[in-house]
Structure 1
Amino acid sequence: MSCSSPAYAKKKPLKVKTLTIPRFTTVASLANILNVRYEKLLVRLEEMGFEDLTYNFILDQETAGLIADEYGYEAHFVEEKEGEDLKPMDIPEDTSSWKTRPPIVTIMGHVDHGKTTILDHLRKSSIVDQEHGGITQHIGAFSVKTPISKKQITFLDTPGHAAFLKMRQRGAEMTDIVILVVAADDSVMPQTKEAIKHIKQSAVPVIVAVNKCDKESANPERVIADLANNDIDVEDYGGETQTVRVSGLTGLNMDKLEESIITLSEVLDIRAPDKKVPVEGWIIESQSKKGMGPLATVLVRQGTLKKGDVLVAGKTYCKVRSMKDEHGKPVKQALPSTPVEVWGWKEVPEAGDECLQAKDESQAKRVIETRILREERSKQVEDIDVINKLRVDAKKEMEQRDRLDELRKYGLEEEDINSGEEASDDKPVQQNVNYIVRADVSGSVEAIVESIKDIGNDEVKLTILKQGAGAPTDSDLERAQISNAEILCFNMKVPKDIENKAAKMGVVLKNHNVIYHLIEDVTAELSSKLAPTIELKVRAEAEVKEIFEIKGKRRTVFKIAGCKVTSGTIEKKSKVRVMRNDQEVYRGKFETMKHLKDNVLEVKKGKDCGLSFEDWSDFKPGDVVQAYEENEIPRYL
């Protein structure tokens, strides 16, 4: 038999069918692409586990590709090129050639445990006197030379109030060493536990400063025990965490605390490259100053920042025009672990943004374009989820209307159809309270928004229309007037012309300097919108003994309840309800009140009386008549 016989011919491989699928496509469009009837595709999708699909339901590439695979197609996706971006440098295994840098030390702990007082003593300044309410209001980085060891340390002072959760989280991620401050007279508190959680999550070495040891009520041993119970392996109990008993007020053992920081930093061997590498760092705080525009405090992580360098942070960039240290003095360069205020930003960057150096402004612009596009794509996905939900809801509403139309064909009235749905309509309508948030720096804005955004419940909701660093603007006033919003200002001086315009426009503008006062104010405002709880208080009772029928004019018959007052004094003007077997059968007002044959305004305990009620006469012997008053009890969130 010839080899060329068809029985021995090579089989041609089956050609795989391919499809090009766009980034997003509707179910109907996918049916066209697959060349399948829409109805059949819908049945197949339901078999695959999809529910509540409509013809215009939007599918993403991955989902559409999965469906195409079911039909034997190999999906090719429309490629979207990723633009240029900046990334931090990979850290090599051997860093011995890098220079040692000052440690970045974060102060953490509960509000009013004395963190700022300790920092104040370390840097010999009076920051504590400048803070409103004695509480640090936003992150500040300060580089100081310690008086004893003459070593440089950068302190990152994080706020102590619960409102600044995110800022404290960020502080723990930027730092080399954490000083956990715990008051000797107060021990471990909620924010202490919160700080411990962040320390554990970021695996940062910690030194415990047991503060206020100069006070008579101090009990440092209890603090050590409580810390051990909260997973801090203190030296006192054989662990590795140093504990130092100090007083920020008197300076007790502050030299030992300083020595502990320097010793631990030497053990950690903290290093960073300062030459021939791009600058990397963090935005510590940012704001917009009148006459200067956007400013940001940058904490350099590696490299040497100089005038003329181009930095990218988030979706904005900066060509460094000038730099100042924490004392406001101009500096020519900033080495690793140095905080500097940088001028030259195109827009105000967000506190906590990573800061990376670009080659030039052109590269910076390309990077920002990439980041904006990436964010838009991400938002597009979120928007599509919302659109799909609206379309599914619209489909259900249409099906409900069709069902009602069908029922009407059988003679049912609308109230009969809707009778089963009335219960759901009794829910209170949710009220909305609008705010615009303005603060001195972006870190404070973020903390305020995080603190207040979830205040509310099913009855009252808070909406933040706009937020930003810097004083309120004319557009803020117009937006607040249109939307009936209040403007919350924090830790800033509001320009007089803005205050005057706000007053003329009827816009409420509130200024706060202490974060928890602002939170209390917002909570009180939303609480005032809650319907009060009505408390019913019974003032007097009477028991119905017998029923009397009295004939009136034109042969009308009136029923009178013959009663005996068993407690209190029943007044004719009182609100009244009638109870039968502990169930309310009537609520309303008295129509007549008689004692013997006289009309009276009140009847005291032990007296008999005849009572009738407005629009009701179905009383029976044994019923209990209660005169009551209603008290409104305010509700709070």
Structure 2
Amino acid sequence: MSAPTIGGVQIPRGDGRIVQIRQGASLTDLAERIDANPASLVTVLFHLGEMATATQSLDEDTFALLGAELGYEIRMVSPEEEERELFESFDIDLEIGIDSEDEEDLQPRPPVVTVMGHVDHGKTKLLDAIRNANVVAAEHGGITQHIGAYQIHKEHEGVDRAITFIDTPGHEAFTAMRARGAKVTDIAILVVAADDGVMPQTIEALNHAQAADVPIVVAVNKMDVDGANPAKVRQQLTEYNLIAEEYGGDTMFVDVSAKQMLHIDDLLEAVLLTADAALDLRANPDKDARGVAIEANLDRGRGATATVLIQSGTLHVGDAIVTGSSHGRVRAMLDEHGNTLDEATPSRPVQVLGLSSVPRAGDTFVVAPDDRTARQIAERREAADRAASLAKARKRISLEDLNAALAAGKVDTLNLILKGDVSGSVEALEDALLQIDVGDEVDLRIIDRGVGAITMNNINLAMASNAIIIGFNVRAEGQNAEYAEREGVEIRYYSVIYQAIEEVEAALKGMLKPEFEEVELGTAEIREIFRSSKFGNIAGSIVRSGEIKRGAKARITRQGVVIAENVEVAGLRRFKDDVTEVREGYECGINLGSFNDLQLGDLIATYEMREKPRA
């Protein structure tokens, strides 16, 4: 079949051929796959009503539209598939599960536990009790703002067993991070306060754990508080398919008091029993390490650091690693107490020094054969991330729609730049802010995010894009703060995430166009009609409800049917006097200006439009 001509340009026909491209790809990427000229694809897209440059990242809908026109089935490759293809091209195996290992290579590994639950039910205090370290004292508002990971040891049936704990933040804004915590987790401890019972975030945490198919151990905390009712907690959780062993179920419930260190050993025992009964916790330590970055931050003395959880293999000092778009050589490894380690085996959380930049919480990490390979993988990942974010940021709106929206004053955008002390907090704050819903009139756009103090570059970007900078546990200092003040760049500082979300939501609502509602003022029934050569028809009326005001808008109804809208009450008389208003029960003469189509029995309803407060 000959190539079709669209807009004077010949394009090769696909005839149903499937073409796979990565998310955030451009027309140039597609042109390479189908052996076409990128400029000709720009022309085709223009004739389809979409304007784009050859190097601009496009979304899935645009590619589907273009593919249908050219006869190709275009499939977007998911990040996971793209990742797999990328690593296969460097001959690196990404498989982590025990299914991909030989039986004789597998060795037992410690369980990885995430503590979840409602805010203020004692998750951090419970972790304190478990590891005898006071984290709460260092937190703002008593809320865990950072993610860490810790390993403790417990003697179980005469054997010293290790358990790894991932400390997830306590506020619902960290839903995304909590979900990610569940993905690297073997067992979830659901903390429920005995005096409070099941709360909304308890259910949210429970849903995450069940969606990830993670066994749950319930810690009924605050048993030392007056009004503690552990039986009520057990009964409430039966509604969510968590049935206690004593009720014939298979979920272990342990009554604890983190404050008084009661039954902490029993809880650890329950974790190990659940791990042994429900899970096959084994991994191959004799290969290159694979895992996930749980937390990362920028340390003034040590540079970019990341807390990584080894899921398979063993990580050694000196290994070339890549995590997300960051790469480097492991310069040193530290445990949760700051002690240096030479190697880290499966389920071991360690802090890694030597990375080129700060990775994101949740990024996978792998050991690469050498520094050069690590750098190439990181650069490819960074380019793909940039392209995907550009595609995500692109607003699909035609020129006509945009002109109409601008003319109506409907396009309002709040641009934000997020800076935080650790990447997990920044990412979770971004996720929470993007979920704020105030309708379609206002658009929230996060144009940049990063870890570390607020820099001159951040302030310049804010100036160029009229953005507000949000600093979460970080500040602009010295000349940067002075520069921001001089240039009128607004910087908001927060240490507790509630305030950030509430204030941004309030700002978005403030950008909304005012909403008006109609408020009825009064109604009057026409009893008689007087003809006036000077004023036209005058409606002799009696006010049935409320009051009739001069200058108010009126609606005329005849036997329940509206015959006129937006009519003005031009004049109002009581006998021979002009008046401004007439109350219920009184008679009056109403002049409706140029509207003269009146009949006896018509109803005049007056109203005004009042601004309605936003919910």
Q: Shorter-chain TM-score: which interval?
A: 0.7 to 0.9
Distance 1:80 1:338 in 2: 27
* Post-superposition CA distance 1:94-116 (Å, at most 9, x none): 66776654432211122222211
C-alpha root-mean-square deviation of aligned residues, in Å?
Answer: 4.1
Per the alignment, residue 477 of structure 1 pairs with: 459
Alpha-carbon deviation of 1:270? Answer: 4.5
SS in 2 for 1:528: helix
What amino acid does structure 2 have at the position aligned with 1:462?
A: L
How far is 1:298 from its partner? 1.9
Aligned 8 A contact 2:415 2:466 in 1: yes
1:439 counterpart = 2:420: yes
Q: Any conservation in 2 of the 1:107–1:178 contact (CA below 8 Å)?
A: yes
SS in 2 for 1:188: coil
Relative distance call for 1:134 and 1:550 in structure 2 (3 A) is same
Distance 1:346 1:157 in 2: 25
1:263 to partner: Cα distance: 4.3
Q: Does residue 1:169 correspond to 2:176, yes or no?
A: no
1:581 equivalent in structure 2? 559
* 1:296 paired to 2:296: no
Select the residue among 572, 580, 590 that pairs with 2:550.
Answer: 572
1:559 counterpart (518, 537, 555): 537
Query: 1:445-464, aligned counterparts within 5 Å?
Result: 445-456=426-437, 457-464=439-446
Q: Report which of the two structures shows the higher radius of gyration computed on alpha carbons.
A: 1
Q: 1:45-194 to 2 correspondence within 5 Å?
A: 83-88=89-94, 91=98, 100-145=108-153, 152-194=162-204
Residue 307 (structure 1) shift? 3.5
Question: Which residue identity lines up with residue 559 of structure 2 in the other structure?
Answer: N
Whole-angstrom distance in 2 between the partners of 1:214 and 1:260? 20
| Structure-to-structure mapping, 1:271-310, within 5 angstroms | 271-272=282-283, 276-290=286-300, 292-310=302-320
> Are 2:323 and 1:313 aligned?
yes
Mapped partners of 2:229, 2:524: distance in 1: 62
* Alpha carbons 1:108, 1:180 under 8 Å: kept: yes
Q: Which amino acid aligns with 2:503?
A: D
In 2: Cα distance, 1:569 partner to 1:378 partner? 60
Residue 487 of structure 2: which of 498, 505, 513 is its match?
A: 505
Among 510, 513, 516, the alignment partner of 2:498 is 516
Task: Quote the offset at 1:353 in angstroms.
Answer: 1.6
Deviation at 1:221, TM superposition (A): 1.7
Other structure's SS at 2:511 match = coil
TM-aligned CA distance change 1:114 to 1:593, over 3 Å? same
Q: CA-to-partner distance for each residue in 1:239-260, whole Å, 9 max, x for gaps?
A: 3322101122222222311332
2: CA distance, partners of 1:479 / 1:121: 45
1:593 aligned partner: 572
Distance 2:130 2:597 in 1: 83
**CA distance 1:472–1:58, change in 2 (3 Å):** farther
Task: Tell which deviates more after alignment, 590-599 or 241-250.
Answer: 590-599
1:178 shift after superposition: 2.0
Q: Taking structure 1 as reference, are residues 564 and 366 closer, same or farther at Cα in structure 2, changes over 3 Å only?
A: closer
Q: CA deviation at 1:505?
A: 2.1
Contact 2:553-2:567 within 8 A present in 1 as well: yes
Flag the 1:126–1:200 CA change in 2: closer, same or farther, 3 A: same
Structure 2 Cα separation of the partners of residues 56 and 234 of structure 1: 55
Distance 1:59 1:364, change over 3 A: farther
Contact 1:280–1:355, Cα closer than 8 Å, also in 2: yes
Structure 1 residue matching 2:569: 3-state secondary structure: strand
| Cα distance, 1:283 vs structure 2 | 0.9
Opposite residue 566 of structure 2, the aligned amino acid is R
Q: Name the CA distance, whole Å, in 1 between partners of 2:461 and 2:594.
A: 51
Distance verdict in 2 for CA 1:453–1:59, change over 3 Å: farther
**Contact 1:84–1:370 under 8 Å retained in 2:** no
Shift of 1:209: 0.7
Candidates 562, 585, 596, aligned match of 1:617: 596
CA distance in 2, matches of 1:528, 1:284: 36
Q: Which residue of 2 aligns with 1:67?
A: none
Taking structure 1 as reference, are residues 458 and 80 closer, same or farther at Cα in structure 2, changes over 3 Å only?
A: closer
Give, in whole Å, the separation in 1 of the partners of 2:585 and 2:74. Answer: 82
Structure 2 regions of 5+ residues with no counterpart?
1-16, 18-30, 41-62, 76-84
Q: Which amino acid aligns with 2:573?
A: K
Deviation at 1:218, TM superposition (A): 2.5
**Matched residues in 2 for 1:53 and 1:124: separation?**
59
Aligned pairs for 1:149-548 within 5 A? 152-264=162-274, 270-272=281-283, 276-290=286-300, 292-369=302-379, 371=381, 429-456=410-437, 457-548=439-530
Q: Deviations over 1:311-369 (max 9, x none)?
A: 21122212122333334455555444333322211111121122222233123224335
Taking the aligned partners of 1:604 and 1:441, their CA distance within structure 2 comes to: 65
**Change in 2 beyond 3 A, CA 1:343/1:627:** same
Kept in 2, the 8 Å contact 1:85–1:367? The answer is no
Render the CA deviation track for 1:341-398: whole Å, top value 9, x for unaligned: 2221111112112222223312322433554577689899x79xx99x99xx89xx9x
Alpha carbons 2:86, 2:377 under 8 Å: kept: no
Q: 1:327 to 1:496 in 2, by over 3 A?
A: farther
Question: Helix, strand or coil: the match of 1:126?
Answer: coil
> Does the Cα contact within 8 Å between 1:24 and 1:58 map onto a contact in 2?
no
Structure 1 residues 157, 584: closer, same or farther in 2, change over 3 A? farther
TM-score, normalised to structure 2's length?
0.76
Give structure 1 stretches of 5+ with no counterpart: 1-18, 31-50, 64-78, 398-422
Query: Is the contact made by 1:24 and 1:59 (CA closer than 8 Å) also made in structure 2?
Result: no
Q: Offset at 1:467? A: 1.7
Task: Give the structure 2 partner of residue 628 of structure 1.
Answer: 607
Q: Does the aligned pair in 2 maintain the 1:84–1:366 contact within 8 Å?
A: no
Q: Are 1:455 and 1:461, in contact at CA under 8 Å, matched by a contact in 2? A: no
- Matched residue, 1:68: none
Kindly indicate whether the alpha-carbon contact (under 8 Å) linking 2:64 and 2:73 is maintained by their aligned counterparts in 1: no
Matching residue of 1:76:
none
